[in-house]
């Protein structure tokens, strides 16, 4: 009788500890994604406004520039700076890994390293804006570097709120690994035994989307007048179209984000999605990551499509030559990939709801 009571108490305590670890892990994952997402967005929002004065003939013209952290000349060039700003979001997916404890520890360690590195890289930009006036910024729309008189805006605080949330998430995530079971063997058997439904459709979706983004133009000039095999068409890719879309429809966002940050975010998320597709148990909440990626990818694809329309309507406003501009195949292929992806996500959602319904029926 006594042994049975002790066994029951031990089982209850073990179940309570497992429940606490699960809740702590969920909180850590939520904070990690929220913090990384806030950093990725806030560094491309206006940290300051500047008013450079240019002289045209005898007239002086004052321009108003929204200066993000990415605009300020810093210790990094634009490409690595863009990678730093988006890497946290991608690592937020990797910390959802199911597998050996050392692998999960490595993922959380990389996330913590990103937080510290981002803090060390972004802070000098903040110090520059706080202590330097005028401040030197990167080239804008093909101009040389400008020295700008500027005034600060409170949006910079959001970046540090995001970094604080990410730091708290990293600490909670590492604490949650203490005493957690090693999921390596169980995860490996499950991954080998089951295949994610609609995996082929999701793979096709990602491949089509990436081809549309990186291998095909989104707008071209004079391609309707001369067949492609007889003449050479010049055009604008996804980054250029998104740049135009930001300038026309999302003016609070820095157009420099379209050069590297947005493509890296979309491509990295797509590759991680493929990894999750072919290793079903690799990520917790895999359906959530799928929906989030589709939402973000669709939003930026729409912005790129709008940008292509804006530069077709007025190419000279974006520094392009005049001619017969038209939308091109990159738009069609990218949206076809997204359509396939949303169809697969809907199918998986229906399967999940049916499985829950069957489970509830058996329980009853």
- Does 207 share its domain with 348? yes
Per-residue pLDDT of 84-100, as tens digits, reads 999 999 999 888 877 77
Whether the per-residue pLDDT at 108 is higher than 90: the answer is yes
- Examine residue 327 and state whether it is found in any structural domain, yes or no: yes
Most confident of 59-73, 95-109, 165-179, 227-241: 165-179
Q: What is the mean pLDDT of residues 322-327?
A: 86
Question: Within a domain: residue 332?
Answer: yes
Q: Domain check: are 154 and 212 in the same one?
A: no
From CA 91, how far away is CA 110, in angstroms rounded?
8
| 2-42 and 156-176 helices, crossing angle to 10° | 160
Residues 107 and 255 in one domain: no
Residue 12 resides in a domain: no
Q: Is residue 120 part of a domain?
A: yes
The predicted structure's pLDDT at residue 358: 59
Are residues 24 and 175 in contact, defined by beta-carbon separation less than 8 angstroms? Answer: yes
Distances (CA, A) of 150 to 53, 118, 125, 128, 133: 12, 24, 14, 11, 7
Encode pLDDT of 18-27 as tens digits: 567 678 888 9
Most confident of the following: 60-74, 170-184, 322-336: 322-336
pLDDT of residue 317: 86
Residue 89 lies in a domain: yes
Same domain, 22 and 118: yes
Percent of the chain with pLDDT over 70: 74
- In this structure, are 174 and 245 located in the same domain? no
Question: Does the pLDDT value for residue 42 go beyond 80?
Answer: yes
Cis link prior to 134 (omega < 30° from 0)?
yes
Which are the contacts of 175, defined by CB distance < 8 A and separation ≥ 6?
A: 24
Which 3 state secondary structure label does DSSP give 9? Answer: helix
Q: Which of 161, 185, 209 corresponds to the end of one domain?
A: 185
Question: Considering only CA atoms, which of 86, 87, 47, 115 is closest in space to residue 300?
Answer: 86
Tell me: do 141 and 68 sit in the same domain: yes
CATH number at residue 65: 1.20.140
Question: Can you give the residue range of the structural domain that contains 53?
Answer: 17-185
Nearest 10 degrees: Cα torsion 286, 292, 295, 297: -90
What's the pLDDT score for residue 143?
Answer: 45
pLDDT band at 8 (very low <50, low <70, confident <90, very high): low
Domain count, the chain: 2
Element (H, E) at 166: helix 156-176
Residues 132, 232, single domain; the answer is no
* 355, part of any domain: yes
pLDDT at 47: 85
- Is residue 193 very low, low, confident or very high in pLDDT (cuts 50, 70, 90)? very low
Let me know whether 179 and 256 are in one domain: no
Asked which of 50-54, 193-197, 247-251, 290-294 is least confident by mean pLDDT, the reply is: 193-197
Domain boundary among 185, 202, 226: 185
Supply the pLDDT for residue 140.
Answer: 55
Average pLDDT in the 329-354 region? 89
Q: Which of 127, 157, 185 is the last residue of a domain?
A: 185
**Mean pLDDT, residues 122-128 taken together:** 87
178 with 285, same domain: the answer is no
pTM of the model: 0.84
Do 313 and 177 have their domain in common?
A: no
Of residues 277 and 127, more confidently modeled: 127
1 within domain boundaries: no
Check pLDDT > 70 for residue 315.
yes
Residues 223, 170, single domain; the answer is no
Q: Are residues 119 and 261 in the same domain?
A: no
pLDDT for residue 185: 46
Residue 160 has pLDDT above 70, yes or no: yes
Asked if residue 5 belongs to a domain, the reply is no
């Amino acid at each position: 009788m006594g042994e049975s009571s002790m066994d029951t108490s031990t089982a209850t305590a073990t179940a309570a500890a497992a429940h606490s670890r699960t809740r702590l892990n969920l909180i850590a994952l939520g904070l990690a994604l929220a913090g990384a997402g806030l950093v990725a967005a806030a560094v491309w929002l206006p940290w300051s406004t500047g008013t450079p004065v240019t002289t045209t003939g005898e007239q002086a013209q004052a321009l108003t520039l929204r200066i993000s952290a990415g605009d300020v000349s810093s210790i990094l060039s634009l490409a690595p700076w863009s990678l730093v700003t988006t890497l946290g979001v991608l690592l937020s997916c990797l910390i959802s890994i199911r597998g050996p404890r050392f692998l999960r520890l490595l993922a959380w360690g990389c996330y913590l390293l990103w937080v510290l590195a981002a803090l060390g890289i972004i802070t000098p930009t903040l110090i520059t804006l706080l202590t330097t006036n005028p401040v030197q910024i990167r080239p804008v729309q093909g101009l040389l570097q400008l020295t700008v008189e500027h005034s600060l805006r409170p949006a910079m605080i959001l970046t540090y709120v995001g970094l604080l949330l990410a730091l708290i998430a990293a600490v909670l995530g590492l604490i949650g690994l203490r005493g957690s079971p090693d999921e390596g063997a169980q995860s490996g058997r499950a991954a080998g035994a089951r295949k994610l439904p609609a995996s082929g459709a999701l793979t096709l979706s990602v491949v089509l989307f990436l081809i549309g983004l990186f291998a095909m133009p989104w707008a071209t000039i004079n391609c309707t007048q001369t067949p492609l095999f007889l003449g050479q068409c010049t055009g604008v890719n996804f980054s250029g179209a998104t740049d135009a879309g930001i300038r026309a429809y999302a003016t609070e966002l820095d157009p420099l984000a379209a050069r590297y940050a947005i493509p890296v975010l979309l491509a990295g998320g797509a590759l991680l999605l493929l990894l999750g597709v072919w290793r079903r148990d690799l990520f917790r909440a895999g359906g959530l990551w799928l929906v989030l990626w589709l939402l973000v990818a669709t939003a930026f694809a729409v912005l790129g499509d709008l940008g292509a329309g804006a530069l077709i309507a007025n190419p000279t406003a974006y520094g392009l030559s005049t001619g017969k501009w038209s939308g091109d195949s990159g738009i069609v292929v990218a949206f076809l990939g997204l359509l396939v992806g949303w169809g697969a996500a809907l199918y998986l959602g229906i399967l999940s709801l049916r499985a829950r319904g069957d489970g509830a029926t058996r329980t009853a």
